[in-house]
Structure 1
Amino acid sequence: MYNFELERPSTIADAVKALGNEDAQALGGGQTLIPTLKQRLASPDVLVSLTGIGEMAGICHDDDGRLCIGGATAHAAVAADSSYPGLSALAAHIGDPAVRNRGTIGGSLANNDPAACYPAVVLGSNATVVTNTRDIAADDYFQGMFTTALEEGEIITEVKFPVPETANYQKFVQPASRFALVGVFVAKFSDGVRVAITGASESGVFRWSEAEAALSSDFSSDAIAGLSLSGSGMISDLHGTGDYRAHIAKVMTGRAVDAC
């Protein structure tokens, strides 16, 4: 680690102002950023903590029935809320108790770690990422590994989730980190099914459109029996090859459907 300044704004406006300073970086729960700093892969002069901003914490519902979660809301709070069972179950299995009580949904989505769990539920739910300046549809938000539509100084203030008829998340866990080696979120809405896969692709979280079409016609694991994902473009490392991850993604999709 190295020396840096820490600012703790209490309002979104103050946070945006602080992030306007040269070489300032936002800090959520720090579950991704702090290890990055320890490895000296990033070296901001100023960290702007977002966890003390009251207007960015908490859970509610809007007039359209969407579940609205503040960007500074901890995983543990999401896990304790029963409004969206598929989402709360996912949050309950992120990391360990220390991670769940410290990490935030906004921080996770801002970093867009390829093996994080929240990107799958946001993309699979067709959620809306709300920032201090605009609303971003999930299909437009994720733009590649560790890459999002966020612009410099933009802050995730809230995430709005349409609640599906049923949903489930299945995670093939990397034992040491508790990250998803492969994670699949399946959500069934009245107008169709969405399937989002994290941890597998070199391009980050993505939708499996062939499975979505098959499951929209027949919501059963048998509907995807004849489908397969290509290992091309999948992550290949010491934990598994691209073909292995592609196979696991199909297996996890079937399990998610069966668990709905």
Structure 2
Amino acid sequence: MENFNYHRPASVEDAVKAMKGASDGKFMSGGQTLIPAMKQGLASPSDIVDLGSLRNSGISVGATVVVKAGTTHAEVAGNADLKRAIPGLAALAGGIGDPHVRHKGTIGGSIANNDPAADYPSACLGLGATIHTSSRKIPADQFFTGMFSTALQEGEVVTAVEFPIPKKCGYAKFPNPASLYAMVGVFAAQLADGSARVAVTGAGAGVFRVSAMEAALAKDFSAAALNGIAVPAKDLNSDLHASAEYRAHLITVMAKRAVEKAK
């Protein structure tokens, strides 16, 4: 691990200012991705701007559910109001990593990093969430732009995630047995207007939606409605854990399970 300058800002404005003054700075929230990457020499930032000092955590449930960026996975999983409003989101958070990761990792850090096998991006895309930042609001459909890539501009900080409350939703994943990251994870939701959204993580270069499944579920939100619908293996990930063809098969299996779990 190389030397770096450490900043502990007292406000979002201070955080943005510190980042603008860094030659190669990184924001850190829970540190569950950045710290291991630095230990392995995969990241060597000149400056770390610790967002944990902002104490920007908490969940509010009203016409929508707003989760502040510094809220841990454990807090999302355990919040009683959120469980009633969006049970699929709470269940997703409860299946992230191990207890240590769930008590340190944050929703803002996860979506800003946008690991292609992370769980939260599928919930954001599957529910049609809005990402609040230090300067604007970004629809989830525009936020996730590719592998470890988002629409965030230099120095821009995620401050909260706003989720519309669906009629029902569910999440199912086939986890890597070692890391518990999703080899394939599918979030399926029936929205308040009756439309459906299906978002897949772990299978490709980034999270993506499946329009054919969405059209079928909009007519009949049931696992049987997905019979015969398959995602082409082309462009899906293929590695020592699973081939692209196997991941394509898992997408349909996990989508059906997500719909069956939906409540």
Q: TM-score, normalised by structure 2?
A: 0.95
Answering whether residue 18 of structure 2 is matched by residue 15 of structure 1, we say no
Question: Considering only aligned residues, what root-mean-square deviation do their CA atoms show, in Å?
Answer: 1.0
Structure 2, unmatched stretches of 5+, are none
Matches within 5 A, 1:157-172: 157-172=159-174
Q: Once the 2 structures are TM-superposed, how far is the Cα of residue 221 of structure 1 from its aligned partner?
A: 1.1
Distance 1:99 1:20 in 2: 29
Which residue in 2 is equivalent to 1:2? 2
Equivalent in the alignment of 1:67: 65
For the pair 1:57 / 2:57, whether they are aligned, the reply is yes
What SS does the corresponding residue of 1:52 show, helix, strand or coil? helix
Letter in 1 for 2:131: V
Query: Which residue is 2:220 aligned to?
Result: 218
> Which residue of structure 2 lines up, in the alignment, with residue 131 of structure 1?
133
Determine whether 1:199 maps to 2:199: no
**Residue-by-residue CA offset, 1:159-199 (whole Å, 9 max, x unaligned):** 00001111111010101101001000011113201000000
Looking at structure 2, the residues matched to 121 and 153 of structure 1 have their Cα atoms a distance apart, in angstroms, of 25
1:46 maps to 2:47: yes
- The residue type paired with residue 193 of structure 1 is A
Partner of 2:27: 26
Within 5 A, what are the aligned runs for 1:74-85? 74-82=72-80, 83=82, 84-85=86-87
Query: Residue 194 of structure 1: SS of its match in structure 2?
Result: strand
Equivalent residue number for residue 35 of structure 1: 36
Query: For residues 135 and 150 of structure 2, what CA distance do their matches in structure 1 show?
Result: 15
Q: Tell me, what secondary structure is at the counterpart of 2:253?
A: helix
Offset of residue 3 of structure 1:
1.3
Greater than 4 Å deviation, 4+ residue runs: none
Distance in structure 1 (CA, Å) of the matches to 2:146 and 2:179: 21
1:221-232 matches, within 5 Å, as 221-232=223-234
Cα distance in 1 between the residues matched to 2:112 and 2:137? 14
Q: Which residue of 1 aligns with 2:148?
A: 146
SS in 2 for 1:88: helix
Q: Distance in 1 between matches of 2:58 and 2:178?
A: 30
State whether residues 165 and 192 of structure 2, in contact with CA within 8 Å, keep that contact through their aligned partners in structure 1: no
Q: Secondary structure at the match of 1:51?
A: helix
Within the candidate set 100, 121, 125, 2:123 is matched to 121
Aligned ranges for residues 170-185 of structure 1 at < 5 Å?
A: 170-185=172-187
Cα distance in 1 for partners of 2:217, 2:57 equals: 35
The count of corresponding residues between Structure 1 and Structure 2 is: 256
Task: Give the secondary-structure state (helix, strand or coil) at the position aligned to 2:229.
Answer: coil
1:200-257 CA-to-partner distances (Å, cap 9, x unmatched) read: 012x000011000001001111111011110000000000111100100100001111
1:41-66 Cα shifts (integer Å, max 9, x gaps): 22111100101113x2111135xx11
In the alignment, structure 1 segments of 5+ residues that lack a partner are: none
Task: Give TM-score, length-normalised by structure 1.
Answer: 0.96
CA–CA distance in structure 2, aligned partners of residues 182 and 190 of structure 1: 26
Rounded to whole Å, the distance in 2 between the matches of 1:156 and 1:81 is 21
Alpha-carbon distance in 2 for matches of 1:4, 1:217: 54
